[in-house]
Amino acid sequence: AQKITQTQPGMFVQEKEAVTLDCTYDTSDQSYGLFWYKQPSSGEMIFLIYQGSYDEQNATEGRYSLNFQKARKSANLVISASQLGDSAMYFCAMREGRRGYQKVTFGIGTKLQVIP
Amino acid sequence: EPEVTQTPSHQVTQMGQEVILRCVPISNHLYFYWYRQILGQKVEFLVSFYNNEISEKSEIFDDQFSVERPDGSNFTLKIRSTKLEDSAMYFCASSRADRAGTEAFFGQGTRLTVV
């Protein structure tokens, strides 16, 4: 089974509108962390937002918020007031908490295009 | 703001040659990682490194790969005899701790092209 599933290969959004990028995850661990990264066409990986499995409140960072639904194992990224510079690949990732299991697993990504 | 830096940004090499990709992690970080991303595909974990030894590696990280922290600042990935399929973007990352909630900071990547 895929650890991280991103079902939207591509998304379009009108500038200034909000958009939700879907992410579901699979883990049997109680302690884990969920991340979203942005990868513009230049290729670098930019950290956007983090949600811990024990955090009761949804994480927010500026225009980014993470809609965390633990029972459904989903961690959707919401971008409000989209800007042209938001056009990029977006990766959902998970870090599981077992000691010694240190890797972050990435989803396949969603390509977001913001339309003027 | 501290950042992970990688050099070179782009490396072209002939098949069969050895390459060394270099990374300078954030100075107070203790855990180091290499990931790769084949063009158009997802980011894949290669290896994690802590306390001067590999703590975990993926099935991709076979005998042609090695990592080293030769001094207090650099963290290198060596590919001994490159193959065409090694062409990818290679990302170095570091983190302060190895707990579920600790974010990993990524470098800007080295694009390796094997010809």
> Is residue A56 predicted with pLDDT exceeding 80?
yes
Q: What is the pLDDT of residue A91?
A: 95
Residues 6+ apart with CB under 8 A from A28: none
Q: Which residues of B touch A43 (CB under 8 A)?
A: 89, 108-109, 111
Quote the CA–CA distance of B39 and B105 in Å, as a whole number.
21
* Greatest Cα-to-Cα distance within chain A, rounded to the nearest angstrom: 46
A46-60, A85-99, B75-89: least confidently modelled range: A85-99
Does residue A101 register a pLDDT over 90? no
Tell me the chain A residues in contact with residue B111 when contact means C-beta distances shorter than 8 Å.
43
Most A-contacting residue of B1, B43, B92 (CB-CB within 10 A), to test interface = B43
Phi, psi of B43 (to 5 degrees): -75, 130
* Residue A116: strand, helix, or coil: coil
B91: left (phi over 0), alpha (psi -120 to 50) or beta: beta
Q: What pLDDT was estimated at residue B99? A: 63
Mean pLDDT, rounded, for A46-71 = 92
Cα B49 from Cα A76, distance rounded (Å): 30
* 8 Å CB contact between A84 and A17: no
Ranges of chain B whose pLDDT falls below 70: 1, 98-102
Average pLDDT, chain A: 90
Verify cis geometry, omega within 30 degrees of 0, for the bond prior to A9.
no
Q: B11 CB contacts (<8 Å, ≥6 apart)?
A: B19, B21, B110, B111, B112, B113
User: Which pLDDT score, from 0 to 100, does residue A18 have?
Assistant: 97
Q: Which amino acid is residue A26, in one-letter code? A: D
Give which of B29, B42, B47, B94 to mutate to test A binding, by max A Cβ within 10 Å.
Answer: B42
What local confidence, expressed as pLDDT, does residue A1 receive? 63
More reliable by pLDDT, B40 or A89: A89
Residue A33 touches chain B, beta carbons under 8 Å? yes
